[in-house]
C-alpha cells in the first residue's frame, strides 16, 4: 500500500504495491516508482503546484493498486511527473504509458473493464471546469482593468532556459563508492527575463543500492537574458557500488518551480 508522507512528519515508510499481485498492482507499482523517481512529491503538490487535473484521492488511489484507474487519471499522474518534473518527451511518455495501461486493462479477468470515469465524476469535472472558466474570466477582467496591478505568481512570460553542457562529471562517469565530487552544468538564459534569486532544487532521484547525497538546492548566480551561467552542486556517492541519478529543476526562493515544462537537468554516475 502507498502511504502518503506529509513534510516534517515521521511515520511508516511507503513500500508500494507488490508487483506480483496482479496486473492492476503491477501498474500501480510502476506509478509508485515514477513518483519516487520524481522526488516523491505529495499528492497535494502534484495537483496544486504541478497541475495534475485529478483529485488527491484519485491520484492516491491510482498508486494503491486496488482498482485500475481511468486512463485520464493515469495520464495526469504520469504527465506532471515524467514530463513536468523529469523532463521526458511528452509524446513518448504518452505512448509508453498508454500501452502499460492498456495491457493492465486487458489482463483483467475478474470483472469488466473500468469505465474512464463515473457519471458523478463527470458531473463534478464539468462543475470544476465551469468554476475554472469563471476564475479565468475574472482574472482577464482584472488584467484589463488594472494592468499595473501585482505581478502574478505564475511563470513569468518570456522565461526560458537552455542546457549548454556538462562542465564536469559527464553522464556515465565512474566515481568511487563513498567519494565526493562536484557536478557543474552550464546553462543559458534563453528568455527575456533576468534570473535573480533562483535556485536549482533537487526534484527527483533514484539509485541502486543507494542514492547520491546532495543539498536540497543550490543557488543560480544572477543571469541576464542571453548570458551563460555555471551552476555546481557538491555530491557524495553511495557507500556501495551501483549507480545513481539526480534531477534538478529551477525554482524561486520559496521553492516554486519556475519552468515546469522545461527538461530537468541531471547527473548520472556509475559507482565503483
* Domain around 246: 161-271
Residue 13 lies in a domain: no
Phi first, then psi: give them for residue 160, nearest 5 degrees: -160, 150
Residue 141 lies in a domain: no
The model carries a pTM of 0.51
**What CATH number has the domain bearing residue 183?**
2.60.40.10
Residue 4 lies in a domain: no
The per-residue pLDDT for range 54-84, each reduced to its tens digit, is: 888 889 999 998 889 999 899 989 998 998 8
Alpha carbon separation from 38 to 78, 179, 203, 248 (Å, rounded): 10, 24, 6, 10
Cα–Cα dist 225/104, whole Å: 47
Do both 167 and 102 map to the same domain? no
Give the position of cell 557543474: 184
Cα–Cα dist 19/28, whole Å: 8
Residue 11 lies in a domain: no
Cα–Cα dist 114/59, whole Å: 16
Residue 74 lies in a domain: yes
Radius of gyration in angstroms for the set of CA atoms belonging to the chain, rounded to a whole number? 21
Number of domains in the chain: 2
Residue 77 lies in a domain: yes
Q: Which pLDDT value is given to residue 176?
A: 95
Residue 22 pLDDT grade (very low, low, confident, very high; cuts 50, 70, 90) = confident
The per-residue pLDDT for range 4-13, each reduced to its tens digit, is: 444 444 444 4
The per-residue pLDDT for range 186-244, each reduced to its tens digit, is: 999 999 999 999 999 998 777 777 789 999 999 999 999 999 999 999 999 999 998 88
Domain edge (last residue) among 107, 128, 147: 107
Amino acid at each position: 500500500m502507498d502511504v502518503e508522507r506529509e513534510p516534517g512528519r515521521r511515520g511508516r515508510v511507503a513500500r508500494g504495491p507488490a508487483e506480483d499481485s496482479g496486473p492492476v498492482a503491477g501498474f500501480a507499482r510502476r506509478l509508485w516508482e515514477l513518483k519516487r523517481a520524481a522526488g516523491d512529491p505529495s499528492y497535494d503538490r502534484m495537483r496544486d503546484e504541478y497541475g495534475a487535473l485529478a483529485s488527491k484521492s484519485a491520484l492516491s488511489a491510482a498508486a494503491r493498486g486496488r482498482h485500475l484507474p481511468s486512463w485520464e487519471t493515469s495520464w495526469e499522474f504520469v504527465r506532471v511527473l515524467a514530463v513536468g518534473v523529469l523532463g521526458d518527451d511528452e509524446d513518448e511518455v504518452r505512448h509508453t504509458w498508454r500501452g502499460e495501461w492498456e495491457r493492465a486493462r486487458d489482463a483483467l479477468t475478474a470483472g469488466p473493464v473500468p469505465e474512464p470515469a463515473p457519471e458523478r465524476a463527470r458531473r463534478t469535472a464539468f462543475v470544476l471546469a465551469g468554476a475554472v472558466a469563471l476564475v479565468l474570466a475574472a482574472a482577464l477582467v482584472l488584467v484589463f482593468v488594472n494592468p499595473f496591478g501585482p505581478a502574478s505568481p505564475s511563470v513569468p512570460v518570456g522565461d526560458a532556459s537552455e542546457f549548454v553542457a556538462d562542465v564536469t562529471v559527464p553522464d556515465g562517469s565512474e566515481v568511487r563508492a563513498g567519494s565526493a565530487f562536484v557536478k557543474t552544468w552550464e546553462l543559458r538564459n534563453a528568455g527575456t527575463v533576468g534570473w535573480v534569486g533562483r535556485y536549482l532544487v533537487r526534484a527527483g532521484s533514484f539509485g541502486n543500492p543507494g542514492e547520491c547525497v546532495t543539498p536540497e538546492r543550490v543557488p543560480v548566480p544572477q543571469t541576464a537574458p542571453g548570458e551563460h551561467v555555471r551552476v555546481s552542486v557538491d555530491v557524495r556517492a553511495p557507500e556501495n557500488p551501483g549507480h545513481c541519478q539526480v534531477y534538478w529543476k529551477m525554482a524561486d526562493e520559496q521553492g516554486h518551480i519556475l519552468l515546469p515544462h522545461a527538461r530537468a537537468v541531471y547527473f548520472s554516475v556509475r559507482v565503483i
